[in-house]
Structure 1
Amino acid sequence: MTGHRSGNRLVALDGLRLLAALMVVLYHYVALARPWGHSTATIFPTAHRFAEYGWLGVEVFFLISGFVICMSAWGRTVGEFAVSRLSRLFPAYWAGILLSATVITMWPEVASLHGWGGVITNLTMLQGGNNTPDVDPVYWTLFVELKFYLITAVVLLFGVTYRNCLILCGVWTAAAALAPVLNTPLLTAFAVPQYAPFFIAGIAFHLMRRYRPNAVLWAIVILQLLLAQRYIGYRMATNLGRVTAQALPTWPARFLILAAFAAIAAIALGALDRIQWKWLTYAGALTYPLYLVHMNIGMTLIHHYQGRIPALVLVISVTVLMLATAWLIHRTIERPLGKWLRNVMRSGIDDVRRHVTPLPPTRTDLTDLSEPDVDHVADSIGT
């Protein structure tokens, strides 16, 4: 069956992306004690219970990423894919690093820098691979994303096709399932077993969208949904601490993961195509810069003004300020710098293509060929 593209932008996907970002913001501002100096259970007795599961916004991001990156890679070369992703990620990221580093240098109330050498390394986005601390703790997710991009680039070398995407889903599922048992650091690093189910399910959902749902794709999605349950306890302990995590029920986390899968399924099946609210497109554009700047900067502001401004007003005010900051980064840095970076990288890739040409066969090679074969070789190298 021939693949197809939807003519409409998936606005519902922008809305889900924004919702995931706000979940993470709520978790950092309302569930964590760090910006307040003590437990928030007494400050937000009701909201605190919901915010404790807001870290799941990261899992939702990875699910969306599997869908979007598969869509973005289709029909592109490795170079085109690299230009698309790097020009999208780095401008807002650089702005977020420099802004966060400046704020926590001036007001080291909830975080501090480990030297400006670390900030310079952070500019590469590769700090997760060489034990350099993140300028902002949320940046760890970007290194996970880069691994997914590298995996996608390998698939691009063979061609992004229906068949190859299914092979990727199968191989990655096996690698993620075996990694904890084999205890091979390299395999574990790239299989990312805790998050692989979300990326893989996102790929399967995109295949449903591009072609049509079938038993094979639903089997992949259901398998990933089941595998995702394995690491809920681990993720709760990582984000909330082992003692707190053991005291909390896991069913809200399981329900939120199921709800995220259901939402992406509805998008993949076209059930939400009627949602074309323009404001969601703009809001979706703010999601990435909001995610980059909200944590250390927002926590610093909350810590600085807590006790002087009512808690609810403070959280809302800081969230609005972070949204405004994200809009400024998007308009003044991300868009213009992203466009410039795209053009520069495309020019560089074109230059490489012009200078990388096949080497002609040697005279020895030609003498070993029959006359028709020599003609064929000459034709192939344009002589």
Structure 2
Amino acid sequence: MQQQKDKVIFANQLRAIAIIAVMIIHLCGIYWRARGTVSAYIFAPEIEGPASGLLGWLSPPTVNYGPFGVAIFFLISGFVIPFSLSKLSPIEFLVARVFRIYPTYLIGSAVMLLCIWFSSLYWGKEFSINTNNLLLNLALIHTNIFVKTIDLVNWTLSIEIKFYLISAILYSSIRKANPLPIILLAVGTLCFTEWYPEAKSVIHFTSFNLSIESIKAELMVVCFMFIGTFFYFHFFEKITTLELVLYSSILLLLVLLCWTHNAWASGIPGVPRNYIYGLSVFVTAYALRKHFRLFTPLDFIAKISYPLYITHSLIGYSIMRVAMDNSLPYFAALLIAISIIVAISYTLHITVENKSIEIGKKLIEKIRSKNSKTELEGRQASLSF
């Protein structure tokens, strides 16, 4: 058991690498390169002056830390989610995921909204967020109905939710380490992407419009995430190395074919290229998994990676913008922002994230106890009959 835990250290530490990559692009890149967007989201005037060269110094040619880090996050989810499926029923799994995702996201979003409200007071701007849009964001169903994000990062959580639902549907196949239904899902996604009529890309309902193009793109990403699941199959020796390479290559090819005919096509070649970079890092780490050891800085960042992901962008922008308005240089503002974000994230981790996971576990135990009692009563009734 300990040997198995040691081998999975690689996945945990990749989480830290992924969140660091995402924070680099947001706090060192988007902060400067998308000034209008940043100012609109934190209710502040646009930052003036020359941009910092930190991102250019940190970035190798063709590397975009945003899709690179997100790709690693997606692959880690694909790899670790089957661990939960192996121990839980589909309903129990979905209950566990709800308590894993939503409480921390809701409280983290509340902290973020409070922070940008203070930002609006500081800058003397009106704080205005559409209540309906806010609720749809908090439910993580905004991406498919033309509602813009409130925090610039929750679109990935919306995809995660769909991955959980599809994983629950494919529960039996994943438990049996059967790659065929996953491949068929990708083939079906490609057919849907290629042949669904463009003229019907928006379906109109009474109170909202459904974006079929967003569904195509998100299904494509879900298929990409299942590459991580194939590595889970290999990890437990359910498939051979040759089968791993074959199935993963087929899935990646189908994903890339989907990419050319959906809403994300405009990001070619930069975004898919960085997803491949993320996959390359994941594959390398997996191949070297026996050599990974506990490393306190990375392990700590990995531990708080989820609340850090939720809070870092708009809270970071708000703090940096106010700090620089008070004559602090960019690097000092960046360090202050990171320190505060880490402190907030750690607090959320110990007060909300851990507690909500425990509540989810207790609820699952109650569900199991109730089901066992019902099953026992049913057996006793049949025996008495």
Please, what TM-score do these two structures have when normalized by structure 2?
0.76
What residue is the counterpart of 1:138 in the other structure? 153
Give the match's secondary structure for 2:359.
helix
What residue is the counterpart of 2:362 in the other structure? 343
Give the match's secondary structure for 2:51.
coil
Within the candidate set 18, 25, 28, 1:30 is matched to 28
Q: 2:113 aligned with 1:87, yes or no? A: no
Q: Distance in 2 between matches of 1:93 and 1:123?
A: 8
Q: Is the 8 A contact 2:104 2:348 kept in 1?
A: yes
Cα deviations across residues 237-273 of structure 1 (Å, max 9, x unaligned)? 56xxxxxx9xxxx57962x43443233224444x222
- The residue identity in structure 2 corresponding to 1:288 is Y
What residue is the counterpart of 1:215 in the other structure? 242
Q: Where has structure 1 moved over 4 Å in runs of 4 or more?
A: 49-52, 109-113, 129-133, 184-188, 227-230, 232-238, 250-253, 352-360, 378-382
- The residue identity in structure 1 corresponding to 2:322 is H
The change in CA–CA distance for 1:217 and 1:380 in structure 2 (over 3 A counts) is: farther
The change in CA–CA distance for 1:199 and 1:161 in structure 2 (over 3 A counts) is: same
Within the candidate set 154, 171, 188, 2:184 is matched to 171
Give the superposition deviation at 1:181: 1.3
Decide which moves more: 104-113 or 302-311. 104-113
The change in CA–CA distance for 1:323 and 1:227 in structure 2 (over 3 A counts) is: farther
Within the candidate set 164, 168, 171, 1:153 is matched to 168
Q: Is the 8 A contact 2:116 2:318 kept in 1?
A: yes
Cα deviations across residues 318-355 of structure 1 (Å, max 9, x unaligned)? 12321221111101221123312431354256446655
Decide which moves more: 205-214 or 256-265. 256-265
Q: What count of residue pairs does the alignment treat as equivalent?
A: 347
Give the superposition deviation at 1:121: 4.3
Q: Identity rate of aligned residues, in percent?
A: 19
Q: Unaligned stretches of 5+ in structure 1?
A: 239-244, 361-377
Give the match's secondary structure for 1:138.
coil
Q: Distance in 2 between matches of 1:39 and 1:61?
A: 33
What residue is the counterpart of 2:209 in the other structure? none
- The residue identity in structure 1 corresponding to 2:53 is P
Q: Distance in 1 between matches of 2:225 and 2:266?
A: 22
The change in CA–CA distance for 1:9 and 1:329 in structure 2 (over 3 A counts) is: farther
Within the candidate set 106, 111, 116, 1:99 is matched to 111
Q: Rg: which structure is higher?
A: 1
Give the match's secondary structure for 1:137.
coil
- The residue identity in structure 2 corresponding to 1:140 is W
Cα deviations across residues 48-89 of structure 1 (Å, max 9, x unaligned)? 475671211112211111111123212421133123322221
- The residue identity in structure 2 corresponding to 1:223 is I
Q: 2:230 aligned with 1:204, yes or no? A: yes
Decide which moves more: 275-284 or 184-193. 184-193
Cα deviations across residues 190-221 of structure 1 (Å, max 9, x unaligned)? 77354134212111111111115333321122
Q: Distance in 2 between matches of 1:149 and 1:168?
A: 15
Give the match's secondary structure for 1:134.
coil
Give the root-mean-square deviation of aligned CA atoms. Answer: 3.6
